[in-house]
Amino acid sequence: MNPFDMIKNIGNLKGQLENAQSQLAEVQASGSSGGNMVTVTLNGKFEMIDLVLDPICVDNRDVPMLQDLIKAAHHAAVENVQEEIKAKLGPMLSGMNIPGLG
């Protein structure tokens, strides 16, 4: 995208960015691990908004396993949020090199 064209269309770009922010506020996606023993839900800002643990996986004798399950569920949720963002904002983001959404 030509920088001079961007300057000419700054008002339009501002509107598109505001629209993107409002759409990101609506994005939510979950990821799970361990056969749904751990589920993490993130919003469009990649903030964790929910964590659900099946009581069966809460064993104080195996905390490292639970930690691994939480990390795996979080990773899956991040991937799913990225997919949701691409689906909602894909046409607007085309041509922009945004890390994590390529």
Mean pLDDT value of segment 16-28:
81
Report pLDDT for 28.
92
Mean pLDDT value of segment 44-53:
92
The reported pTM is 0.68
Out of 10-14, 25-29, 52-56, 93-97, pick the least confident. 93-97
- Dihedral, CA of residue 9, residue 14, residue 20 and residue 26, to nearest 10: -160
- Token code pair at residue 27: 């994005």
Mean pLDDT value of segment 6-13:
72
Report pLDDT for 6.
61
**pLDDT, tens digit, for every residue of 58-71?**
888 889 999 999 99
